[in-house]
Structure 1
Amino acid sequence: MQAPDAIPDDPKPQPNPGGEPSETTDSAAAAGKVILMGASVRSAAASARRGGLRIWGIDRFGDADTRELCEEFQQISGPHQIAAALRRAKTRWPDAAVVAAGDLITPPDVEVDHALGRETQPIRSRDLWAQLAAESGCRFPTTRSIADEANSPHQHQRQSIDHDRWLEKLMTGTGGLGVRWSDPNRKPQGGMTFQQQWVAGRTYGVTFIADGTEATLLGACRTITTSFGDLPFIYAGSLGPMPLQPLTQDRLRCLGQRLVKRTGYRGLFNTDVVLSGDQPPWLLEVNPRWSASMELVEHTLAPEPSDSSPATQPSLIRWHVRAQTERLDTWVRVPDPAHSSRRFKRIVYSLRKGKLCSQAIQQWCRRLNAEDQPIRCTDIPAQTDDIAIGQPIVTLTGPLTQSTIYRGLSRQVQSLVS
């Protein structure tokens, strides 16, 4: 296929031969401490707790259940505060591993980049993604600079013809917050830096873990999106893990393996792909961090061997820490997805502007979680606050066979906005 246009300021991949572990993560494995930072770290904190780790959380929401999981917690108002929060945490817990546990976009900062590991930066390269996709039997959507397109003498005519098949994307957009349909009658909004060809199919988040030389595919979950205003692809949840066709699975394994061989990356990472039947997968992006669907994948994993860990329950965050210093083939066990229990994760968004009473929503969640049924409520707000249309209220999770109950429960939650 045609190679995508180069993206301005896209970092060039630099190999990291051997995937050498950093001193921070090496000592953290023995210390049993982890600093989690992201927009919401609740699911990662639950994983770390299952793995017997002590947790320092840094996130924007400060939900009640997140605070309960963390030994120490700092709530921040935005990315501009992440460096100071991390500095404070590292002063108190200097031997803790630092894990990006969600889609909190951080401004360039030497301390943050160093704490997250030098391997993550090369992975955030669209040039690299295009190369790996081609080498793995996958595809990468054609991408073009908005600046180049705007300077084209036929710009209006071209976009009028194909704008419904192109997306405008933020270089640092996450969770669908930076993705819009391209519109020839609208001036690109600030920060919109490139256009990408829209491709048909179902989007999946594919979870991998790597040890610097080998990558293991742990599971793939189908992504659910919703729309608010001119944002048509807001992340709303996941289903899975789902079985993949053998050829698709082989291509994705090859993709993950080539990425790790090229970069020496260690730990968890996620690839967003679009699948359609037995056609080659479309690679959209690679995220070198904990991702939203990983808690569903974790639910299907077998317990770690008792002689390698004091934890009896599987914990992907613990696996991430262990992968900094250990080989995967000694302890990672991956179940057959065809025989795994599938689950759903759905974020309940507010459909109206109003006030959300923390006491009311906490009581509702406690009643639900106390009932003898498999659906659970998480990401529970800690304080009463104003809420806007499209803001998350809570998250519901449970067996996929019970997903039809979600609609009734979500209406109950949404009715609590007054």
Structure 2
Amino acid sequence: MKPRPLLPHAPFVVVAGLSARMLAQSAARAGLRVAALDVFGDRDTREASELWFDIGGGPLAIDGQQLAAALERTARLPGLIGWIDGSGLEPFVAHLCAIPGLPRFIGNPVEASAAVREPQRFFALLDALDIPHPPVAFAPPATTQGWLVKRADGCGGTHIEPASAFGDARVPAQAYFQRRRDGRSLSALFIAARGSARVLGFAEQLTCAMGHLPFVHTGSIGPIDLPPSVVARVHAAIAALSAQTGLTGINSCDFLLDGDAFELLEINTRPSSTMTLYETASPHAWPHGLLACHIEAWRHGRLPAAPAASPWRAGQQVLFAPRPLAVSQSFSDACLRDPLCRDVPMPGMRIDAGDPVCTLLVRATSVDAVRYALAAQHALVLQRIETCHEPDYAFIQCHS
């Protein structure tokens, strides 16, 4: 989908996160002018935005003071409608919403987020609504075998560790223990407003082990088909939670599916990266991008029509650096020209081993075909890393 032409006085929207590229591109499709705040400043993020602010606070981390200062600066933009949070903003949103003079927050009311993000409140609510979930504890279990520790203000799987990793060490604040369960790791993307919710589809979550972290998020594939009985139960759980808490806008629900046994894990109270799957698989269903639907739900309490079934599937996967590297001009240019690459790093950027290089995004007619296309693109970009060094040689190797 191409961005809509900007009107002379199109309003601004601010998007912020560890990476703001997905939100910036979706907002640009809606014809909005974009100010992006993130830690990477990737080339396609900057292309989709009129302004970019660095809010990095160290390797892959957000600096809360820089974030607040950047939001304060954007408050003076002409026609600004507000700001939207992405991944990594979980620890900051409630505090930012209480600071006078910052732009309006376009998302969940603070109390609605707290109802599903504060572990003791959330799991008590699930029990009251008879929604299944893995057993949880708020004090160290007698034995750590088979238990995980999760931080409620984390994201991307970096907030999940084996309980045994802590030993006698102090458990972080906002953490809880959860029984490790088998099953497929899935998610449902939904839009909520005025106590109602519309589920947009289901996706399979891709994870990998990285160091002591067993479930680092690496991407997703969707939309996927699930048995009607499972679909009905997930829909019912999301409807009950939305009615009870007042969730607003785009959210996602992470859950496990073991056979037909469904257990809810968490609610992410922000636009999820799986938005990209639905915009890619069904571009005609969302001609102005899904962020426009998020804003519509927040502004007017309106939900989009139920999406029609699509014959297409999409997949996205983060490619992590196999070794330390400095991004060459030729590598960056080749990735920017490649329609299957997103989050394209700036030339000269230094990337450590294990850090994200870019995101691969593919479209195909089946989940198996998506997996094959992701594997092929992964191999291509790895080869590009090894061959794109000198400008003349890189042009020959990487021309597409």
Q: Same fold (TM over 0.5)?
A: yes
Map of 2:302 onto structure 1? 328
AA paired with 1:54?
Answer: R
Map of 2:36 onto structure 1? 57
Give the counterpart of 1:130 among 106, 123, 129. Answer: 123
Distance 1:317 1:137 in 2: 32
CA contact (8 A) 2:201 2:223 kept: yes
Q: Does 1:368 align with 2:347?
A: no
Post-superposition Cα deviations, 1:332-360, rounded to whole Å, max 9, x if no partner, equal 23123xx44111101100122x2222413
- Report how far residue 47 of structure 1 moved: 1.1
AA paired with 1:181?
Answer: P
SS of 2:330's partner is: helix
- Report how far residue 326 of structure 1 moved: 2.8
CA contact (8 A) 1:79 1:107 kept: no
Q: Which has the higher contact order (CA 8 A, sep 6+)?
A: 1
- Report 1:149-164 matches (<5 A): 149=140, 155=142, 158-159=143-144, 163=145
CA contact (8 A) 1:36 1:55 kept: yes
- Report how far residue 137 of structure 1 moved: 5.4
Distance 1:256 1:242 in 2: 18
Q: Percent identity?
A: 26
- Report how far residue 227 of structure 1 moved: 1.7
Map of 1:411 onto structure 2? 379
Map of 2:49 onto structure 1? 70
CA contact (8 A) 1:301 1:314 kept: no
Post-superposition Cα deviations, 1:306-352, rounded to whole Å, max 9, x if no partner, equal xxxxxx714110001111233435x423123xx44111101100122
Post-superposition Cα deviations, 1:333-392, rounded to whole Å, max 9, x if no partner, equal 3123xx44111101100122x2222413212214533xxxxxx10000014233222100
AA paired with 2:296?
Answer: R
Distance 1:303 1:408 in 2: 27
Distance 2:129 2:284 in 1: 31
Quote the RMSD (CA, aligned, Å): 2.6
Map of 2:80 onto structure 1? 95
Give the counterpart of 1:343 among 297, 303, 314. Answer: 314
- Report 1:24-39 matches (<5 A): 32-39=11-18
Q: Does 1:319 align with 2:293?
A: yes
Q: Which runs of 5+ in 2 are unaligned?
A: 1-8, 57-61, 390-400
- Count residues with an aligned counterpart: 359
AA paired with 2:331?
Answer: I
Deviating runs (4+, > 6 A) in structure 1?
A: none
AA paired with 1:140?
Answer: H
Give the counterpart of 1:357 among 318, 322, 327. Answer: 327
Map of 1:278 onto structure 2? 260
Deviates more, 1:114-123 or 1:267-276: 114-123
Distance 1:282 1:170 in 2: 19
Distance 1:167 1:120 in 2: 23
Distance 1:131 1:111 in 2: 27
Structure 2 length-normalised TM: 0.82
AA paired with 1:271?
Answer: C
SS of 2:291's partner is: helix
- Report 1:66-215 matches (<5 A): 66-77=45-56, 78-80=62-64, 81-93=66-78, 95-107=80-92, 110-112=95-97, 115-116=104-105, 117-118=109-110, 119-134=112-127, 138-145=131-138, 148-149=139-140, 155=142, 158-159=143-144, 163=145, 165-183=146-164, 186-188=167-169, 191=172, 193-215=175-197
- Report how far residue 63 of structure 1 moved: 0.5
Distance 2:98 2:81 in 1: 15
CA distance 1:303–1:185, change in 2 (3 Å): closer
- Report 1:198-277 matches (<5 A): 198-277=180-259
Distance 2:218 2:182 in 1: 19
Distance 2:93 2:300 in 1: 30
- Report how far residue 37 of structure 1 moved: 0.7
CA contact (8 A) 1:380 1:394 kept: yes
Distance 1:185 1:111 in 2: 31
SS of 1:346's partner is: strand
CA distance 1:122–1:84, change in 2 (3 Å): farther
Q: Does 1:398 align with 2:362?
A: yes
SS of 1:123's partner is: helix
Post-superposition Cα deviations, 1:13-52, rounded to whole Å, max 9, x if no partner, equal xxxxxxxxxxxxxxxxx96432111111111111111111
Post-superposition Cα deviations, 1:240-292, rounded to whole Å, max 9, x if no partner, equal 1111211211111112211221122221111111112222x211111110111
- Report how far residue 213 of structure 1 moved: 2.2
- Report how far residue 66 of structure 1 moved: 0.3
CA contact (8 A) 1:177 1:234 kept: yes
Distance 1:191 1:94 in 2: 41
AA paired with 2:157?
Answer: G
CA contact (8 A) 1:301 1:333 kept: no
SS of 1:399's partner is: strand
- Report how far residue 189 of structure 1 moved: 6.3
CA contact (8 A) 2:197 2:239 kept: yes
Post-superposition Cα deviations, 1:37-82, rounded to whole Å, max 9, x if no partner, equal 1111111111111111211111111101001101111111123221
CA contact (8 A) 1:130 1:139 kept: no
- Report how far residue 301 of structure 1 moved: 4.5
SS of 1:244's partner is: coil
AA paired with 2:307?
Answer: V
CA distance 1:106–1:86, change in 2 (3 Å): farther
